[in-house]
Amino acid sequence: MGTFELLKKEIEKLELKPKMEEIGEVIEVKDGIAKISGLSNIENLEIIKFEETNIEGAVINLEEDNVGAIIFGDFSKIKEGDTVKRTKKVISCPVGESLIGRVIDPLGNPLDGKGEIKTEKFYPLERVGPLVVDREPVNFPLHTGIKLVDALVPIGRGQRELILGDRITGKSSLAIDTILKQKDEERRPICIYVPIGQKESKIARTIEIFQKFGAMDYTIVVSAPASSPTSFWYLAPYSGATQGEYFMDKGKDALVIYDDLTKHAYAWRQVALVLRRPPGREAYPGDIFYLHSRLLERAAKLNQKRGGGSLTALPIIETQEGDITAYIPTNVISICDGQIYFDSSLYLKGQRPEVNIGLSVSRVGSVAQTKAMKKVAGRLKLELAQYMELEHFLKFIEEVDPETRKRLERGRRMMEILKQEKLQPLPFERELAIIYAGIEGFLDEIKIEEIKNFEKDLLKTIEIQKPEIFKIIKKSKDLDLATKVELDKMIKELVKRYASAKGD
Amino acid sequence: MNPLKDIQKLAEILLSLTEGKSPKEKEKIIKDFLLVLREKNKIHLLSKILRELRKMERKREVNLFLAKKIDEEIKKKLKETIKRILGKEKEIKIKIDENIIGGFLVKSENFLIDASIKGLLNKVYGHLRTS
């Protein structure tokens, strides 16, 4: 009886009066795409529903007598003649604080089995980036925890910095390290990681890393794995940007990582070809530039009037055989405010991370650095440039004068200092301490093989004996004279210890 | 001139000429139409005109699905109501489909009015499954 009553109650709640609905009919189904006749009043980017199978889709092609739609699901179930209904909603996804720590698909459905996501707000996936009047120049650093990046190619909040390189060169690792590093930031940005077309096993491993380091407390993963429909690959970056924009609009900082946009371009190429749009260079459709530019324009630093929030974008692009002049890499390079180029030949030379310093730039430059880092990194750049030039020449010359030799030795030590293993992002003040030690020439007497140990010892000794040094640098973000003297003392003591150990 | 507009116009003319005529008269009109086309060296447009005609027909067509045969009286009333809602120029075709169990279903190219028992049951099922 109870069940019957319950059912009756539920059914009474229903609006069962017949209504006039706007419909269409499937006339063609291709890979992930359906062509539909009818639906003459439909808007672009509107969600549609396939009546018989309950699968949804979105209209992306309006033509004279039919519309083209991408299908969010198993397109093999959709048949010719199926009825399609309008929903009068544009593609949107839920946003809000309750999504933090969750793994979702591009439409906001949970993928982590932690139950329903409760939010009231929905944002459309396609939004126009903030206007010029709402923006201000990038002025606050976003630390990656990688010495080389923070010192030489600094990233600011609201910047778009491209990470590119061949496969398996540690591009994703840099992105993951950056997310892990945000854990100890004072003004911690909400991180959004968007894996596109990656293996599910790899995504699972990444999420496990986030959990292990406690990074899921401030991270959203918008996942479009290799097995998901192409439409999801296409939508995932926009969905990630939407998640970030919610926090930016609230005056907070957000960081979104698109891993990677090459797959995104592949997905759009596939959709466009199936839709019979004219193929252009490398068979990409004509709007492939706009595809990425409208996405990356959404990254911004808002001015104080708009709340002062920011959305930083770190897109990743995979190159083939180190060719950064291919179509998609050049497109995205020109859109972004700089790039970090991973060179696989440097990996073989033992450099970690294998970033090519000469080809990597940040157009925002030192405004995205703290005062302390500016003081140290300015000279580092110069020293390294000279070192690299000298090393080039050294291939032809055997004997060098003592002055040049000194430069070379210092350069080699600096390169050694900049080496860093994966999953070990350093707090900013520690990066600073070791780079300072190198640039001031304190390490000239230490053997190159000893540098890594020296770094560890130095950081440990300061931590134990004079933790104030770190605290002051972290707080003031500057390296004042008093702290400098203290730091000098610590470094000199340790150098002395190393020298005497060598003497034994 | 826009060639597409031309074709549309020709199709419209043909349709308006044949409207309400007996089959014999229709045949004559169509023959004349073909002759004119040939004279004007426009015979190659024929297939396009045909496609346009089919499209126009689809636009006018309204299918009324019923589970079983019903009284002429009710049928007439239904037709009148449908014409009032969807427009006078529609051509209503009645089809019998037992799958809808009961009630009726009006389907045109762009619109659907589902007042069938099948649709009702589907709605209830969908609601109960999600709630």
Is the confidence metric ipTM above 0.90 for this complex? no
| pLDDT per residue as tens digits for the range B75-92 | 888 888 888 888 877 888
> Which tokens is B9 given?
């116009």
Q: Classify residue A192 as left (phi > 0), alpha (psi -120 to 50) or beta.
A: beta
Contact flag A21-B112 (C-beta cutoff 8 Å):
yes
Q: Contact A307/A261 with Cβ under 8 angstroms? A: no
| Confidence label for A18 from pLDDT (cuts 50, 70 and 90) | confident
Q: How many CB atoms lie within 10 A of CB A216?
A: 21
Instruction: Name the average pLDDT for chain A.
Output: 93
User: What pLDDT does residue B57 have?
Assistant: 84
Distance CA B126, CA B131 (A): 9
B chain contacts of residue A38, beta-carbon cutoff 8 Å: 109-110
B chain contacts of residue A83, beta-carbon cutoff 8 Å: 112
Which of A13, A18, A65 lies at the smallest CB-CB distance from B115? Answer: A18
Q: Rounded to two decimals, what is the model's pTM?
A: 0.90
Test mutation, A4, A12, A14, A15, chain B, max B CBs within 10 A:
A14
Question: How deeply is B1 buried, as exposed, middle or buried, from its count of CB atoms within 10 A (0-12, 13-18, 19+)?
Answer: exposed
A chain contacts of residue B3, beta-carbon cutoff 8 Å: none
B chain contacts of residue A37, beta-carbon cutoff 8 Å: 109
HSE (side-chain half, CA atoms, 13 Å) at A208: 6
User: What pLDDT does residue A216 have?
Assistant: 96
Q: Contact A313/A327 with Cβ under 8 angstroms? A: no
Which secondary structure element, helix H or strand E, spans residue A104, and what is its range? Answer: strand A103-104
Q: Classify residue A165 as left (phi > 0), alpha (psi -120 to 50) or beta.
A: left
Question: Average pLDDT in the B116-123 region?
Answer: 87
Does B53 reach chain A within 8 Å, measured CB to CB?
A: no
Cα of A21 to nearest chain B Cα, Å? 5
Instruction: Output the CA–CA distances (angstroms, integers) from residue A227 to A201, A290, A394, in the order listed.
Output: 11, 26, 51
> Which tokens is A17 given?
């009066």
Residues of chain A above pLDDT 90, percent:
82
Q: Which residues of A247-275 are buried (b: 16+ CB within 10 A; e: fewer)?
A: bbbeebbbbbbbbbbbbbbbbbbbbbbbb
| Confidence label for A499 from pLDDT (cuts 50, 70 and 90) | confident
> Which tokens is A94 given?
């839920």
User: What pLDDT does residue A492 have?
Assistant: 93
Question: How deeply is A375 buried, as exposed, middle or buried, from its count of CB atoms within 10 A (0-12, 13-18, 19+)?
Answer: middle
Residue carrying the six token digits 């005529």: B21
Distance CA A369, CA A355 (A): 19
In the beta sheet, which residues pair with residue A164? A317, A341
Q: Return the DSSP state at A126.
A: -
Contact flag A18-B114 (C-beta cutoff 8 Å):
yes
Q: How many CB atoms lie within 10 A of CB B24?
A: 8
Cα of A54 to nearest chain B Cα, Å? 10
Question: Average pLDDT in the B30-42 region?
Answer: 88
Domains and CATH numbers, chain A: 22-90 (2.40.30.20), 94-369 (3.40.50.300), 373-503 (1.20.150.20)
HSE (side-chain half, CA atoms, 13 Å) at A278: 2
| pLDDT per residue as tens digits for the range A191-216 | 999 999 999 999 999 999 999 999 99
Does B28 reach chain A within 8 Å, measured CB to CB?
A: no
Q: Which amino acid is at B86?
A: L
| pLDDT per residue as tens digits for the range A262-273 | 999 999 999 999
User: What pLDDT does residue A481 have?
Assistant: 92
Q: How many CB atoms lie within 10 A of CB A86?
A: 20
Cα of B75 to nearest chain A Cα, Å? 18
* Omega within 30 of 0 (cis) for the link into A260: yes
| pLDDT per residue as tens digits for the range A47-87 | 999 988 889 999 999 998 899 999 999 999 999 999 999 99
Please name the residue of chain A whose CA is at the shortest distance from the CA of residue B125: A11
3-state secondary structure chain B: CCHHHHHHHHHHHHHHHHCCCCHHHHHHHHHHHHHHHHHCCCHHHHHHHHHHHHHHHHHHEEEEEECCCCCHHHHHHHHHHHHHHHCCCCEEEEEECHHHCCEEEEEECCEEEEEEHHHHHHHHHHHHHHC
Q: At what angle do helices A428-439 and A402-418 cross, to 10 degrees?
A: 170
| Confidence label for A285 from pLDDT (cuts 50, 70 and 90) | very high
User: What pLDDT does residue A14 have?
Assistant: 78
Radius of gyration over every alpha carbon of chain A, rounded to an integer in angstroms: 27
Please name the residue of chain A whose CA is at the shortest distance from the CA of residue B103: A18
User: What pLDDT does residue B8 have?
Assistant: 84
| Residue A16 pLDDT greater than 80, yes or no | no
Helix (H, G, I), strand (E, B) or coil at A290: helix
Residue carrying the six token digits 């309008």: A86
Which secondary structure element, helix H or strand E, spans residue A61, and what is its range? Answer: strand A55-62
Cα of B23 to nearest chain A Cα, Å? 30
A→B interface, C-beta within 8 Å: 7, 10-11, 13-14, 16, 18-25, 37-41, 54, 65, 83, 85
Contact flag B110-A41 (C-beta cutoff 8 Å):
yes
Q: Across A267-271, A387-391, B40-44, which has the greatest mean pLDDT?
A: A267-271
A chain contacts of residue B115, beta-carbon cutoff 8 Å: 18
Cα of A372 to nearest chain B Cα, Å? 57
User: What pLDDT does residue B1 have?
Assistant: 54
A chain contacts of residue B111, beta-carbon cutoff 8 Å: 20-23
Which of A10, A11, A21 lies at the smallest CB-CB distance from B111? Answer: A21
Helix (H, G, I), strand (E, B) or coil at A332: helix
Question: How deeply is A85 buried, as exposed, middle or buried, from its count of CB atoms within 10 A (0-12, 13-18, 19+)?
Answer: middle
| Residue A503 pLDDT greater than 60, yes or no | no
Helix (H, G, I), strand (E, B) or coil at A89: strand
User: What pLDDT does residue A52 have?
Assistant: 86
Q: Which amino acid is at A350?
A: G
Contact flag A21-B113 (C-beta cutoff 8 Å):
yes
Distance CA B60, CA B15 (A): 12
Does B117 reach chain A within 8 Å, measured CB to CB?
A: no
A chain contacts of residue B131, beta-carbon cutoff 8 Å: 10
Contact flag A38-B119 (C-beta cutoff 8 Å):
no
User: What pLDDT does residue A504 have?
Assistant: 53
Q: Which residues of A form the catalytic set?
A: 363
| pLDDT per residue as tens digits for the range A316-347 | 999 999 999 999 999 999 999 999 999 999 99
Of A268 and B17, more confident:
A268
Distance CA A179, CA A177 (A): 5
Which of A13, A18, A38 lies at the smallest CB-CB distance from B110? Answer: A38
Domain coordinates of chain B in residue numbers?
Answer: 3-58, 61-130
B chain contacts of residue A49, beta-carbon cutoff 8 Å: none
Cα of A243 to nearest chain B Cα, Å? 26
| Confidence label for A1 from pLDDT (cuts 50, 70 and 90) | low
| Confidence label for B18 from pLDDT (cuts 50, 70 and 90) | confident
End-to-end CA distance of chain B: 58
User: What pLDDT does residue B131 have?
Assistant: 67
| pLDDT per residue as tens digits for the range A403-444 | 888 889 999 999 999 999 999 999 999 999 999 999 999 999
